[in-house]
Homo-oligomer: A and B are copies of this chain.
Amino acid sequence: MILHLAAFTWKDDVTADDIAELTSQLRDMAAQIPELQSYHCGPNLRVRPSPADYGVAAMVEDARALEAYLDAPAHAAVYERLLGRMIADRVAVQLELGADAGP
């Protein structure tokens, strides 16, 4: 199993409405991509100070499934419609999880 993690920092002109719309579109997107075994996204709670504004955690079976998710038309559509113009910075990590890892 692979856990794909992404942290986003927004441009200054991004609004609360943009973020709410993005969250809605990402959740709709996730429902259309069978490779996603679990998918969580949302604003950074900032329990501790952090430059990152938003996060995504997506669980997939393997690298092939991750590629399928990242290259999925539904993912590209969200990027082109909204996400692409919001991003000032993005950092992503893929973690190898044991086979017993939960969703």
The residue that A52 contacts in the complex, of B45, B55, B63, B91, with Cβ under 8 A, is B91
> What interface size band does chain A fall in?
20 to 34
A84 within 8 A of B: no
A19 within 8 A of B: no
CB distance from A76 to the nearest CB of B (A): 14
A25 within 8 A of B: no
A96 within 8 A of B: yes
Check A40 against B93 for contact (C-beta < 8 Å).
Answer: no
A: residues with CB less than 8 A from B are 2-5, 7, 38, 40-42, 44-48, 50-52, 54-55, 57, 63, 66-67, 70, 91-97, 101-103
Q: Can you give 16 A-B contacts (C-beta < 8 A)?
A: A2-B47, A3-B40, A3-B55, A3-B57, A7-B93, A38-B101, A40-B95, A40-B97, A40-B101, A41-B95, A42-B95, A44-B95, A45-B95, A50-B92, A91-B91, A101-B103
